[in-house]
Structure 1
Amino acid sequence: MSFTFAIIGRPNVGKSTLFNRLVGQKLALVDDMPGVTRDRREGEAKLFDLNFTIIDTAGLDEGPKGSLTARMQEQTETAIALADALFFVIDARIGLTPADRAFADFARRADKPVLLLANKSEGKHGELGAMESYALGLGDPIQISAEHGEGMGELYDAVSVLVPPTEDEDDEHEETDEERATRPIRVAIVGRPNAGKSTLINHLLGEERLLTSPEAGTTRDSIAVEIEWKGRGFRIFDTAGLRRRSRIEEKLEKLSVADALRAVRFAEVVVLMMDAQNRFEEQDLRIADLIEREGRALVIAVNKWDLMEAQPGQIAGLRRDADHWLPQVAGAPIVAVSGLMGEGIDRLMQAIVESYAIWNKRVSTAALNRWFEEAIANNPPPAVSGRRLKLNYITQTKARPPSFVLFCSRADAIPQSYLRYLVNSMRETFELPGTPVRITLREKANPFAHKRKRPN
């Protein structure tokens, strides 16, 4: 594992802004409101020729034992324990506060190298606060502006004492099938607020890695964690709950939802979690439709199954409900689970692996066109405006998800209902349940279109 820094400090000093600056992406949510970050988030940082791991943490704050604030601090303490060194961040414009002094003692007790960063030092207003920070006894402050990128050279000088430079690798190559088979599968867990997403991931990890609470909206950032199941790696993203747009009022929730949607686009398999007692509600269907439009493999997890009264035929009923409410992803695997009790976890992981394999599936052109001829013979395309539609042949252009090009005449006249017939027939014939299937229509070129008519 590479050298690791944990960014610590009181709330709202710019820790997440610095994290985003060093990883080169806006991964962590940033807002003027204190306490936006709750879970710890890891990323691969690059500072010129230095590469290292960095952990963003919740602002150090005190709270009653067992409270959300206290558990946020426990996450920060875990990050400090995992790190090799610390970035202790203060707000240079505000200057030292009693909280800064208290948490500087906390950082010293960690007995690890500490770099004191006086953030928001742009302009003359940050100079005085940076000078005050000498009183913390953590060495010379490094004046930076994480938002504007100032002071990165001085930060590089300090970090390079601890982290050796990394040689650039010029042997970049395209990922092979063998490498893809060993790379972790990217999985996003999405659903309405309080569906139990973080609880499920904690059970997979075997530790309280993610904050959980009966209160909806505990998760804000999309947090990625690595797990292994039966020798296969997974990179799982916990996301904020997705509510109807009309109910989202606060700016912070809008940022959280946007972060969750980015996680869906980055994922390969998306697990849609529903509450067993309130399943297939309108928002669940909207989320499933979003996953299908983004072209991701879908697995449905019905959580809190331990709260349901046992009755015969319940699982078969789930299958019927899923196919009824979500015909666009007919056959998507549906698994009853209990994130709290750990029930159904193996079945869920197996469903993710199988859905990933289907999402990557390729069909030979010969088999595809044998099916195509039979499908057309069984149900010919309708005539439109008295003219027959001619479908020539079909070929697969890519997987992830399975995508096909259908060569035909008058592509704009082919009804959507006929395309749905072809997709459903293809799902059944080539065993493509649940995964999105794309068919693009392309008109076959007319070889005589460029020739002029002969004069009479």
Structure 2
Amino acid sequence: MSFTVAIIGRPNVGKSTLFNRLVGKKLALVDDTPGVTRDRREGDARIGSLKFKVIDTAGLEEAFDDSLEGRMRRQTEAALAEADVVLMLYDARIGVSPLDKHFAGWIRKSSVPVILVANKCEGKEAHGDLSEAYALGLGEPLPISAEHGEGMGELFDLLLPFEKEQVEDIPAKERPLHLAIVGRPNAGKSTLVNKLIGEDRLLTGPEAGVTRDSISVEWEFEGQKIKLVDTAGIRRRARVQKKLEKLSVADSLRVIKMAEVVVLVLDADVPFEKQDLTLASHVIDEGRALVIAVNKWDQTKDRNAVLKHIRDKLQISLPQVRGVPVVTLSALTGRGLEKLLPKVLQIYEIWNKRISTAKLNRWLELMLEKHPPPMAKGRRLKVRYMTQVKSRPPTFSLFMSSRGELPESYIRYLINGLREDFDMPAVPIRIYPRTGKNPYVKD
């Protein structure tokens, strides 16, 4: 399982009912008698596509000796230590009790993230006013009914940020970096690959379209394993007529989708034609990191004009990414080649970057103060918090009120702020606003 959730709360608030709901089976005994659960029970849980391990715990008791209650409490403490996130349940029908407040203070002292859950909210009269729950100091309560399965969609949204990418458990240098070399025909891609690996591994020549298949080469640079893939040249779709070339182009586009970093090779004599921009945009849309390699630089006369032209095109045509590295080189002579792979590794590191939730929300608070969200339905949109749900590329969930949609311009404002304040140039950054709809409260 990708992460672990512990369900904690005082006796008889519905912890075992929620546990059974999440695992999809009646594994835990459920009864109106308080204290039925004594040991902590583990199960494989699922909400939609989200899979995780869930731990059901005994009801928290104020006991620290070797009594049965004290031993039960130690089991709960062990579950808390093992968890990536805690669901603290309280009974919304009864309201917040002194025992709830006591144990909320205990949970707040731990470093584990906590989601406050108001259980038994299956009716308007039971739901009542949840505002008293803010006194627990655990944020906004999530109203659910574990018995009837209500609120599971909102719980999915709150747990999603804790999903871990299994691939990230492997150190970056132990897994190969998938590097694709793409460009128009005869830009010098195969010559570049041969010069990088130091042997004539790929067939080259002055004729356009020598490479037809995507050729993969295993390689290593400064301790980093690299899977280098040379692709067939990609022309404009209108010019691709023959079936074989269509297959080659489709294969090249597939390689881009599977790559992590893509080097777009340009011919310095004719830099950034429309097809080059289309390819660059496709790389960014696929969420890949992009490096521009300007080949045949030794044959270029007005170098300043060519560089200015390339940077202007990038700024105008790819505004969604800033700071795409541009490396000038000659694949034939090897001049300037020493600058390419350090840039690739640098951009790969940024593409894998993670930002802690605490640091991210301190930054978000400043961004909201500087430029508050717009109004919706007569009231300002409320942004609750932000968390990074994955890297490769950096992807964030922005949790907010359900009164209206966040405009695209405001999302761009946040993306530009992330790029500048956390030093993330050149890679795609994605922000997905998420709203939790409370069915019992009218906006």
Question: Aligned residue for 1:182?
Answer: 174
- Report deviation, 1:178: 4.7
Aligned counterparts of 1:430 and 1:343: Cα–Cα separation in 2: 33
Instruction: Report the identity percentage.
Output: 53
1:195-236, CA deviations, whole angstroms, 9 ceiling, x for partnerless residues? 111110011122221111222111110000122222322111
- Report deviation, 1:430: 0.7
Match of 2:380 among 377, 381, 388: 388
Asked if the contact 1:217/1:241 (under 8 Å) is kept, the reply is yes
- Report deviation, 1:445: 3.5
Match of 2:293 among 295, 298, 301: 301
Question: Aligned residue for 1:289?
Answer: 281
- Report deviation, 1:414: 1.6
Asked if the contact 1:194/1:241 (under 8 Å) is kept, the reply is yes
Match of 1:442 among 424, 434, 437: 434
Matching of residue 397 in structure 1 with residue 379 in structure 2: no
Question: Aligned residue for 2:210?
Answer: 218
Matching of residue 366 in structure 1 with residue 363 in structure 2: no
Asked if the contact 1:322/1:334 (under 8 Å) is kept, the reply is no
The alignment partner of 1:363 has SS state of coil
Aligned counterparts of 1:359 and 1:420: Cα–Cα separation in 2: 18
- Report deviation, 1:387: 3.9
CA RMSD of aligned residues (A): 2.4
Aligned counterparts of 1:339 and 1:373: Cα–Cα separation in 2: 48
Aligned counterparts of 1:282 and 1:385: Cα–Cα separation in 2: 43
- Report deviation, 1:421: 1.1
- Report deviation, 1:383: 2.2
Match of 2:368 among 370, 376, 401: 376
Question: Aligned residue for 1:233?
Answer: 225
Question: Aligned residue for 1:262?
Answer: 254
Instruction: Structure 2: give runs of 5+ residues left out of the alignment.
Output: 1-165
1:307-337, CA deviations, whole angstroms, 9 ceiling, x for partnerless residues? 1126568657754543333211211211111
Instruction: Structure 1: give runs of 5+ residues left out of the alignment.
Output: 1-173, 451-456
Matching of residue 349 in structure 1 with residue 341 in structure 2: yes
Equivalenced residue count is 279
The alignment partner of 1:327 has SS state of coil
Question: Aligned residue for 2:41?
Answer: none
Aligned counterparts of 2:206 and 2:212: Cα–Cα separation in 1: 15
Q: Judging changes above 3 Å, is the alpha-carbon distance between structure 1 residues 240 and 417 closer, same or farther for their aligned structure 2 residues?
A: same
1:415-443, CA deviations, whole angstroms, 9 ceiling, x for partnerless residues? 11111111111101111111111111110
Asked if the contact 2:261/2:344 (under 8 Å) is kept, the reply is yes
Structure-to-structure mapping, 1:31-70, within 5 angstroms: none
1:37-59, CA deviations, whole angstroms, 9 ceiling, x for partnerless residues? xxxxxxxxxxxxxxxxxxxxxxx
Aligned counterparts of 2:377 and 2:273: Cα–Cα separation in 1: 41
Matching of residue 416 in structure 1 with residue 408 in structure 2: yes
AA aligned opposite 2:209? G
Structure-to-structure mapping, 1:20-35, within 5 angstroms: none
Question: Aligned residue for 1:202?
Answer: 194
Asked if the contact 2:402/2:436 (under 8 Å) is kept, the reply is no
1:237-272, CA deviations, whole angstroms, 9 ceiling, x for partnerless residues? 000111121221111111101111111111111111
Q: Judging changes above 3 Å, is the alpha-carbon distance between structure 1 residues 342 and 328 closer, same or farther for their aligned structure 2 residues?
A: same
Aligned counterparts of 2:222 and 2:263: Cα–Cα separation in 1: 19
The alignment partner of 1:263 has SS state of helix
